[in-house]
Amino acid sequence: MILSNNARDKGVKLTSDLTLTRPYACFPAKLNQVVLNLVNNAIDATPRGGEVHVDTRVNGAWVEIAVRDDGEGISDANISKIFDPFFTTKPVGKGTGLGLSISYRIVMEHQGTIAVTRNETAGVTFLIRIPTEPKDPGTRTEGAAKAAESP
C-alpha cells in the first residue's frame, strides 16, 4: 500500500499472492523494510505498463518471499555488486545505494538468504528465504512475540 501511489504514477501494476497462513518468528518491521526496498527498486526499473509481483509461500523449512518485475534487469557487470554498500545505478539524487545492502544484512540477521535471478523474458526476481524454525530461536524472539500478536 505504501508504494501504490509511486506505482500508479509510473503506470506499473502491483500484484501479490500472499499465501502464508500462520505467523512465523521474525522481526516484522525489518522484513517489511526489505520488501519495501525490493518493491521500490522494482517499480523504478519497470517501464510504464509493466508489472511488479510479490509472492509469499512456505517451501519445506523455509518461508520464501519473492519480488518479481519485468523491468530492465541487471547487467552482468553490476549483478555481483548489487549488495555492496553505496552501489547504485540510479541517477545522482535518486538513490543512496544502501537499500540492497541493508536488505542483505537484515536477511542475514534472520539466518536467511537473498538471491537474484534474471527472468526468462525481462526483469529479475529477488528471492528471500527465511528458515521457519531459526537455529538460535533467541535471535528472533522480539519478532515472534510481535508475529503472535498479529491477526
For 84-142, write each residue's pLDDT tens digit.
Answer: 888 887 777 677 778 899 999 999 999 999 999 999 888 999 999 999 988 765 554 44
38-63 residue pLDDT tens: 999 999 999 999 999 999 999 999 99
**56-59 contacts, C-beta under 8 A, 24 or more apart:** 56/17, 56/18, 56/19, 56/20, 57/19, 57/20, 58/19, 58/20, 58/132, 59/129
Say how many residues make up the chain.
151
The pLDDT of residue 57 is 96
* Distance separating alpha carbons of residues 118 and 21, to the nearest angstrom: 29
- Given a cut of 50, is residue 146 above it in pLDDT? no
23-39 residue pLDDT tens: 888 999 999 999 999 99
- Short-list 92, 86, 89, 94, CA closest to 74: 89
Percentage of the chain beyond pLDDT 90 is 60
The pLDDT of residue 77 is 87
The pLDDT of residue 144 is 38
Domains of the chain with CATH codes: 9-132 (3.30.565.10)
